[in-house]
Amino acid sequence: MRIVAFALALALAPALAVAQTPPTAPAAKAVPPPAKAAPSPAPPAKAAPLTTLVPVPPAAPPTILGREPELSRAQNTAIAKSIAALKTPEERRLANGWSNAKKVAEVICRPAALPALKKQVPNADRVFLGAEDPKTLTLVSTRSLTGMGQVRSGSAWRDFTFTCALMPSSGKVAGFTAVLKPAT
């Protein structure tokens, strides 16, 4: 009787561990034997190790709010090479402290931004992606960076929003699209 009750307790443990509703009526009849087995003089040491061996469905990974996605190996390599090429230790230290979104914007996306923007703003000669506020750049994933930027044409600056499509396998840009805000 103890063996049957123990086997039923093991079979029902995953359902109880994940707070599922009890199975059909035949299994509900089997629930009382584990309760009867609990007061029995069975040593708790036997029940505890076997209970830990019960397979329980894996939990979903915890969501970490406010954390950026990690970069791919190729993206990290491209960024590291670019930062290493900076002239002074102070510049390298500053760039290493940037968020992943800022690093991707400066090193990977900005070189593609100016040629793309020149199609919309013919005399464009300078572009900035993001601003001092970190909320102006969002690294959606290793495949996409979105944000706000500015492009200069002559002495006038125009604001725009952008999406920079990324190729994580190569650390390069797949495409850059910008939507200019109306000139003021």
For 36-76, what is each residue's pLDDT tens digit? 544 555 555 544 444 333 333 333 233 345 688 999 999 99
- With a cut of 70, say whether residue 2 has pLDDT above it: no
163/144 Cα distance (integer angstroms): 7
Reported pTM: 0.63
Cβ-count burial 15-31 (b if 16+ within 10 Å, e if not): eeeeeeeeeeeeeeebe
Q: Grade residue 132 by pLDDT with cuts at 50, 70 and 90.
A: confident
Q: Given the structure tokens 């469905």, which residue do they identify?
A: 57
Asked if residue 142 lies in contact with residue 171, where contact means CB atoms within 8 angstroms, the answer is no
47/54 Cα distance (integer angstroms): 11
140/146 Cα distance (integer angstroms): 7
Mean pLDDT of 71-87: 95
Predicted confidence (pLDDT) per residue in 92-122, tens digit: 999 999 999 999 999 999 999 999 999 999 8
Please report the pLDDT score of residue 152 as a whole number.
Answer: 95
Q: What is the mean pLDDT of the chain?
A: 75
Please report the pLDDT score of residue 7 as a whole number.
Answer: 35
71: nearest Cα among 163, 140, 3: 140
- With a cut of 70, say whether residue 177 has pLDDT above it: yes
- With a cut of 70, say whether residue 30 has pLDDT above it: no
